[in-house]
Structure 1
Amino acid sequence: MSKKFPIMPANPGRVCWGCDRYCPSDALRCGNGSVATPHPSELFGEDWMSWGLDAAPAADAAQLPGPPPTLTE
């Protein structure tokens, strides 16, 4: 069973998030490369949980443009 993934860790830069071991960033035991895997909040910002595949539908979704026009010759 995997560990519960922390949504907002206090110091995300101190841990490698590449597997369920959550090693210190300077002691990678899993062999997940030579650089620690960053937490999603480090990559995408504090609101990383509010967008993506599981995000709630936007209120202005009806105002989004339709599919792009097709090119015909």
Structure 2
Amino acid sequence: MAKKFPLNPPHPERICWGCDRYCPATSLGCGNGADRTMHPSEMLGEDWYLYGDWDIEPADIPQQPADPALIARQG
């Protein structure tokens, strides 16, 4: 079973998010020359899971309706 994926970890820059191993950024176990995979919150902001099809259902955070202005810009 896969580990639960954290929505907004406190220090995402310290971990590689590329697989379920969650290696420290300074000690990657993926192979020689591998680079750290960023957490979506680092690239897309803290509300990254509200937009798109991530197949994540946060139990403790209520779903907000999508902002029509944001959808119009993406479309």
TM-score by length of 2: 0.67
**Alignment RMSD, CA only?**
2.6
Corresponding position of 1:48? 48
Corresponding position of 2:11? 11
Q: Where in structure 2 are there 5+ consecutive unaligned residues?
A: 55-62
Give, in whole Å, the separation in 2 of the partners of 1:32 and 1:52. Answer: 33
What is the CA distance between 1:50 and its match in structure 2? Answer: 1.2
Distance 1:35 1:51, change over 3 A: same
- Identity value in percent: 56
What is the CA distance between 1:34 and its match in structure 2? Answer: 2.2
* Structure with larger Rg: 1
Distance 1:5 1:32, change over 3 A: farther
User: How many pairs align?
Assistant: 62
Q: Where in structure 1 are there 5+ consecutive unaligned residues?
A: 65-73
Corresponding position of 2:57? none
What is the CA distance between 1:36 and its match in structure 2? Answer: 0.2
Alignment of 1:1-73 (within 5 A): 1-31=1-31, 34-53=34-53, 58=66, 60=68
Structure 1 runs (4+) deviating above 3 angstroms are 54-60
Letter of the 1:42 partner, please give it. Answer: E
TM-score by length of 1: 0.69
Structure number having the greater helix percentage:
2
